[in-house]
Amino acid sequence: TNPLRRIPAAHPLAPFTALWILSIRWRSIENATLKAAHDKLGPVVCLSPSEVSVNCVKGGIREVYMGGFEKGNGRWGWYEFFENYKGVPNMFSTSANKIHSTRKRMLSNIYSKSVLASSPALLAQTSSIIYGRFLPALSSTFSHAEPGVLNVYALLSGATMDIVTGYIFGLASGSNLLSDPKQLDWFLDLYNSRRSFTFWPQELPVLTSILQSWFRYRLVPSFVDTANAEIEKWTENMCNGAAAVLRQPKTRIEDTPVVYQQLSLALLKEAKKIGSEKTDLIPSIASEVLDHLAAGFDTSGITLVYVVHELSTHLDIQARLQAELLTLSPPIIPSSAPTLPDPKVIDALPLLHAVVWETLRLHSAIPGPQPRFTPAQGCHLGPEEQTYFVPGGVRVSASAGLLHANEDVYERAEEWRPERWLELEKAEEEKKRDMESRWFWAFGSGGRMCVGSHLAVYQMKYIVAALYSNYTTTIFDDTGIEQSDSYTAPPKSDVIMIQLAKHVKTG
Ligand code: HEM
């Protein structure tokens, strides 16, 4: 009687048991398995008696994500795993749309493209980080035993963390990983040590917690809890720093804790409006901003490492990008400090934009499935030619990695070809829409779409522009550059070694 039996099954066992898809997830081969299943069976595929995967726009992401399907089914939400401080929810982890949209309304404005592009605080923070930390860190590699050789993944992650926390907490209270290699290593080791332990608590949280509390059997090693606690403490310290800055009568513009300030004021206002007795807003604020800094630094760092890797293997495109960057006024070189070119000018550079967009397409930082649940009344999924009724409470997801591999939309989809975005100038309106908005899904879509997408693009473009205005990069050792098969997909190795050479035109 289960209507999902009419949907092509990814495996003969899929319509009968969830064990098959669980085993696929446990073995970290979900993205590859879904790709093979959709290539063979079409845009709607049954994964278990209560789960489907979609890989189309009409009857797929438009229905599910623009249609506001919730992240939970009333009993369980896959995203609850992203709560911090032992169960304090945040916008990303929240299942119910109503609670989520109240929080999103508090935050959308400060992350909007227009506010970011005209924010004096963000520009001052970015300038200070680019000129005072990022370029000096690059330059210092020439005193290494191997001059100009560096683990670019770590450095880019440090840069994105410093900019994101700079905007959230202000420069004085945010992180300074770029100037402190030991702290950078400390943080990345803690953060990355947890990556392979998500399966049990995320897919089978009840079993995980029963085994631990009743039988004292841990499916997740205790060092993961310790790492979480340390990252939470570190975030709390930045919150305290931001709160102290706000108590001061006067602050430097770059020390403005833009996100912290907005969130704390909005939460206080909401608490007063509903007459809440709750005066300790710190856990809610800290859980929210911890999610932003983690989501923000990790995804942007992953994207940037692939930008650098691709440019290091496409030296012709790298040279064209350097030529484009020479048009900037002032150029982003140490002698221009502290002035940066206007964010709108950076944003409008065509090749820089194409390079970033092509990398977001081919190496999406979140290529894996983004699960939602069908509404109680059920829905129809699949393109017009072949739709299927799916009852309520069924887990359904789409994946950026699969949508971006559609050859009808992105010809030679497996190739990194920034040119495709430059050719769009002359393309028809429909083609443009397909490539730029309908099928481009690096930041998701609908009400739960990435709130930080514009901050991500802002910082990534400045970082790439700063790097290639001063240096040429080639690959030193890229062992493990392949993306992991996971929801957030970093390179398989934490170490990607790049050789820098001073760029003769400006360096
Ligand atoms: C290249 C960089 C980035 C990529 C590819 C990316 C991608 C995404 C995607 C795909 C989602 C939706 C995930 C889902 O529903 O499963 C998301 C949500 C989110 N992202 Fe990003 N993101 C990036 C940067 C950032 C930055 C810089 C921030 C900092 C504020 C951020 C904060 C968030 C938050 C808070 C959400 C949850 C939004 C909500 O629930 O309404 N992201 N991101």
In this predicted model, what pLDDT tens digit does every residue of 362-399 receive, in sequence order?
999 999 999 999 999 999 999 999 999 999 999 999 99
**506 pLDDT above the threshold of 70:** no
Question: Whose structure tokens read 């009409």?
Answer: 58
119-165 per-position pLDDT tens digit = 999 999 999 999 999 999 999 999 989 999 999 999 999 999 999 99
Q: What is the Å distance from ligand 1's center to 366 Cα?
A: 9
Percent of the chain exceeding pLDDT 70 equals 99
Q: Tell me how far apart the terminal alpha carbons of the chain are, to the nearest angstrom.
A: 69
Closest CA to 48 of 98, 10, 102, 91: 10
The whole-number pLDDT of residue 278 equals 64
Percent of the chain exceeding pLDDT 90 equals 94
In the chain, where the domains are located: 1-75+368-400
Q: What is the Å distance from ligand 1's center to 128 Cα?
A: 25
**pTM for this prediction:** 0.97
280-311 per-position pLDDT tens digit = 889 999 999 999 999 999 999 999 999 999 99
Q: What is the Å distance from ligand 1's center to 448 Cα?
A: 9
**192 pLDDT above the threshold of 80:** yes
Mean of pLDDT values over 159-174 = 98
Q: How confident is the model at residue 272 (pLDDT cuts 50, 70, 90)?
A: confident
94-127 per-position pLDDT tens digit = 999 999 999 999 999 999 999 999 999 999 999 9
The whole-number pLDDT of residue 205 equals 95
Q: How confident is the model at residue 505 (pLDDT cuts 50, 70, 90)?
A: low
Judged by DSSP in three states, 252 sits in: coil
Give the C-alpha separation, 291 to 83, whole Å.
8
Mean of pLDDT values over 53-72 = 98
Q: What is the Å distance from ligand 1's center to 452 Cα?
A: 6
Give the C-alpha separation, 270 to 266, whole Å.
6
Strand pairing category for 149-151 and 44-48: unpaired
For residue 92, give the ligand 1 atom closest to its CA: 40
Cβ–ligand 1 contact at 456 (below 6 Å):
yes
Cβ–ligand 1 contact at 448 (below 6 Å):
yes
Residue 449 C-beta-side C-alpha neighbours within 13 Å: 20
334-358 per-position pLDDT tens digit = 999 999 999 999 999 999 999 999 9
Cβ–ligand 1 contact at 259 (below 6 Å):
no
**504 pLDDT above the threshold of 90:** no
Q: How confident is the model at residue 274 (pLDDT cuts 50, 70, 90)?
A: confident
Q: What is the Å distance from ligand 1's center to 299 Cα?
A: 8
Is 239 marked within a binding site?
no
Residue 403: burial class (beta carbons within 10 Å; 0-12, 13-18, 19+): buried
Give the C-alpha separation, 98 to 100, whole Å.
5
Cβ–ligand 1 contact at 304 (below 6 Å):
no
Mean of pLDDT values over 232-261 = 97
Cβ–ligand 1 contact at 92 (below 6 Å):
yes
Q: How confident is the model at residue 507 (pLDDT cuts 50, 70, 90)?
A: very low
Cβ–ligand 1 contact at 295 (below 6 Å):
yes
Region of 200 please: left (phi>0), alpha (psi -120 to 50) or beta.
Answer: alpha
Please give the mean pLDDT across all residues of the chain.
96
Tokens describing residue 496:
């990607």
